[in-house]
Amino acid sequence: MLSEKIDNDFKQAMKDKNPVKVSTLSLLRSQFKYVMIEKKAEKIEDIDVIAVIKKQIKQRQDSIEQYEKGGRQDLADKEKEEYAILKAYLPAEMSFGDIEKIVSEIVKETGAQGMKDMGKVMKDVAPRLAGRADNKMVSEAVKKILSGQ
Cα 64 versus chain centre, distance: 17
Is there a single domain that holds both residue 110 and residue 138? Answer: yes
Is there a single domain that holds both residue 82 and residue 101? Answer: no
Q: How far apart are CA 95 and CA 132, in angstroms?
A: 9
Lowest mean pLDDT across 11-20, 35-44, 104-113: 104-113
Which of 67, 87, 107 terminates a domain? The answer is 87
CATH of the domain at 103: 1.10.10.410
> pLDDT tier at 131 (50, 70, 90 boundaries)?
low
Is there a single domain that holds both residue 75 and residue 6? Answer: yes
77-114 per-position pLDDT tens digit: 999 999 999 999 887 777 788 888 888 888 888 877 77
Cβ(82)–Cβ(60) under 8 Å? yes
Q: How many helices (H) and strands (E) does the chain have?
A: 7, 0
Whether this model's pTM surpasses 0.75: no
Lowest mean pLDDT across 10-14, 47-51, 90-94, 97-101: 90-94
More confident: 75 or 105 = 75
Contacts of 31 (CB under 8 A, 6+ apart): 52, 55, 56
Q: In terms of residue numbers, what domain contains 14?
A: 2-87
Q: How far apart are CA 85 and CA 50, in angstroms?
A: 13
Is there a single domain that holds both residue 83 and residue 104? Answer: no
CATH of the domain at 13: 1.10.1510.10
Eight-state DSSP code of residue 122: H
Is there a single domain that holds both residue 74 and residue 117? Answer: no
Helix, strand, coil percentages in the chain from 3-state DSSP, rounded to 5? 80, 0, 20
Q: What is the mean pLDDT of residues 43-54?
A: 85
Give the orientation angle of helix 2-16 with respect to helix 46-69, to 10 degrees: 50
Which of 43, 65, 87 terminates a domain? The answer is 87
Which of 70, 87, 104 terminates a domain? The answer is 87
pLDDT score of 13: 93
pLDDT score of 92: 76
Cα 99 versus chain centre, distance: 16
